[in-house]
Structure 1
Amino acid sequence: MSGSAIEARAGSATHAGLRRRVNEDSHLAQHPLFLVADGMGGHDAGAAASAAVVAEFARLVGAESVGIEQMRAALDRARAAVERIGHQGRAAGTTLSGVAVTDVDGSGYWLTVNVGDSRTYRYAEGELEQISVDHSVVQELIDAGALDGDAAGKDSRRNEITRAIGAGSGGEADFWLVPAEPGDRILICSDGLSGEVPAERIAAVLADVPDPQDAATRLVHEAMLHGGRDNITAVVVDAVRVAGHDDDAYETAPAGGASDADEDTRPRAAAGGDA
């Protein structure tokens, strides 16, 4: 390897959707950071907030890996940048979700960050696993047993989030360390994708489209076919080589199709839980 804990290929796509004038999403897809921010506040305030957050994290682009202290420092700078944004008296804010490449004792890991209801998934060994946990009213109701998964997608409160960067929120982030393996495929997306396209269809696209750029473009197109009611952003990241593994470069479609997976296979558990 060239010194990086994870050698990755990535692709990204974004669209304002079919009903919005402004695309308030921003994203970053440059080693070692792959992030999506979904702005809020209207009247372009959300677009400014998400762009400001991504700009702060972009200062880390070019490093071989990123540690949690660097991520926390970037998050602090991002909060300050959003607080400086004001537009027609409305509070600007944004979600943030994604992964950074990090090194733990010579092995490659995904350092996952999440604030709000944008999502980070891993597709591996034929299964789609949501790594992030939504900071939303609906997720709290699900956790409390007051709402089931089928009803959650139709609940009128599904767009109400409980944490953000800015918008009057403290913006505390969740972090996880997830061990990487060659063939991992990471998807980071705004809720314009996850709120429109069923998980089964997302998994099918990730299984069937080998190139990460083509996969990201296809997922955004799928969201528009399903209604395109919000801004849509997708970042797809493939682990080609991972430090700590002797595997050759992973040159075929990531993780194979779901139909090839053994029915007893389960996603690997996150290491270290909330970092």
Structure 2
Amino acid sequence: MTAIGADVAETSLALPDGRALVLGWASMTDRGLRRDHNEDSVLAALPYFAVADGMGGHAAGDVASDAVIRRLAEEQERAESGFADPEGVEPALELAVGDIREETGDLELHAGTTVTGACLTLVSDRPYWAVFNVGDSRVYQLRGDVLEQVTVDHSVVQEMVDAGRITRAQADRHPDGNIITRAVGVGDAAEADYWLLPVTARLRLLICSDGLTKELADAEIRGHLLRADDAATAVRDLVVHALENGGRDNVTAVVVDVLRIDPAEDAPPVPRRRGLRR
């Protein structure tokens, strides 16, 4: 298990139009009740927030999730003025694949990892979350009282749902629920899917491993996110209740809050950066 960044933090950064974007976040990870090791890894350092859920024998999953998070952390360190270039995600994942194979290739451990997350970027000088995903870890957004799953699982059961063969409720109980169809480090270099979310005041993001979503239904997740006054309370409540519901896997959660967007006449200008095209 690798954790990079602050467990709890709050910061303000200047937007190109002179306003100040105020963010708060918190992260938490737990081994769970039935696992010997925690093979999840987490990055919570502006402008990158990510969770990686490793898999493979003899702690190979820990190696894989560590590789992905460390490569994304390198992108985080390159970011200027708190904003990222999302086009750096794909090269980081490619480098992580090489790291994983170098560490485990001779052992034939079939190491791999999911990774999902969001980085803060600028598009036409406006702030957006660039969400990325490989595998079945998830990103949710809570706008007002509406919870939406942003990412789409790369899994056998998701393909069944898309084909109309089973319902979402059936997918949650399906025996093939743990089989994913895309991972970093398994097979060819995995290509991430991307989404752009406009950054607005009071938006709350949840980034989590499937150890959380296997124990909590979306309605329960929504309830915890709505009730929690701050990010630290939200992640604690989510992880604790996932453990109370069985804790069959490692459980990791990151909550990022857009606390407010304030006027900031004295804020320094932010250099223009190239982001994802809309």
TM-score range, shorter chain: 0.7 to 0.9
For the pair 1:130 / 2:149, whether they are aligned, the reply is: yes
One-letter identity of the residue aligned with 2:235: A
Shift of 1:4: 5.5
Aligned mates of 2:110, 2:277 — CA distance in 1? 29
Which residue of the partner structure matches residue 183 of structure 2?
164
Q: Taking structure 2 as the reference length, what is the TM-score of the superposition?
A: 0.84
Which residue of the partner structure matches residue 2 of structure 1?
13
Aligned mates of 1:7, 1:60 — CA distance in 2? 22
Aligned mates of 1:99, 1:70 — CA distance in 2? 12
Shift of 1:241: 3.9
Q: How does 1:146-161 map to 2 (within 5 A)?
A: 146-161=165-180
Which residue of the partner structure matches residue 42 of structure 2?
27
Shift of 1:139: 0.2
Which residue of the partner structure matches residue 67 of structure 1?
85
Q: Deviations over 1:165-207 (max 9, x none)?
A: 0122431110111111011000000000011101111111111
Aligned mates of 1:73, 1:7 — CA distance in 2? 29
Q: Mean alpha-carbon deviation: is it higher for 57-66 or for 153-162?
A: 57-66
For the pair 1:100 / 2:136, whether they are aligned, the reply is: no
Shift in alpha-carbon separation, 1:241–1:105, aligned structure 2, 3 A: farther
For the pair 1:214 / 2:233, whether they are aligned, the reply is: yes
Selected match of 1:115 from 100, 113, 134:
134
Shift of 1:79: 2.0
Aligned mates of 1:2, 1:214 — CA distance in 2? 23
Shift of 1:102: 0.4
Q: Mean alpha-carbon deviation: is it higher for 70-79 or for 88-97?
A: 70-79
Aligned mates of 2:248, 2:223 — CA distance in 1? 22
Shift in alpha-carbon separation, 1:70–1:88, aligned structure 2, 3 A: closer
One-letter identity of the residue aligned with 2:46: H
Q: Deviations over 1:123-178 (max 9, x none)?
A: 11101100000000000000000010111111000000000001224311101111
One-letter identity of the residue aligned with 1:173: A
Selected match of 1:83 from 78, 92, 101:
101
Which residue of the partner structure matches residue 17 of structure 1?
32
Selected match of 2:210 from 191, 201, 212:
191
One-letter identity of the residue aligned with 1:225: E
Q: How does 1:222-241 map to 2 (within 5 A)?
A: 222-241=241-260
Shift in alpha-carbon separation, 1:166–1:65, aligned structure 2, 3 A: same
Superposition CA RMSD, Å: 2.1
Shift of 1:228: 0.4
Shift of 1:8: 1.6
For the pair 1:55 / 2:74, whether they are aligned, the reply is: no
Shift of 1:90: 1.0
One-letter identity of the residue aligned with 2:13: S
Aligned mates of 1:58, 1:174 — CA distance in 2? 19
Shift in alpha-carbon separation, 1:50–1:61, aligned structure 2, 3 A: same
One-letter identity of the residue aligned with 2:92: A
Aligned mates of 2:246, 2:253 — CA distance in 1? 16
Aligned mates of 1:112, 1:74 — CA distance in 2? 15
Aligned mates of 2:144, 2:40 — CA distance in 1? 30
Aligned mates of 1:187, 1:223 — CA distance in 2? 14
Shift in alpha-carbon separation, 1:239–1:78, aligned structure 2, 3 A: same
Q: How many residues align?
A: 249
SS at match of 1:240: strand
SS at match of 1:207: helix
Which residue of the partner structure matches residue 37 of structure 1?
52
Contact 2:86 2:119 in 1 (8 A): no
Aligned mates of 1:197, 1:137 — CA distance in 2? 20
Shift in alpha-carbon separation, 1:3–1:88, aligned structure 2, 3 A: same
For the pair 1:201 / 2:220, whether they are aligned, the reply is: yes
SS at match of 2:202: coil
Q: Mean alpha-carbon deviation: is it higher for 27-36 or for 57-66?
A: 57-66
The runs of 5 or more residues in structure 1 that have no matched partner are: 248-272
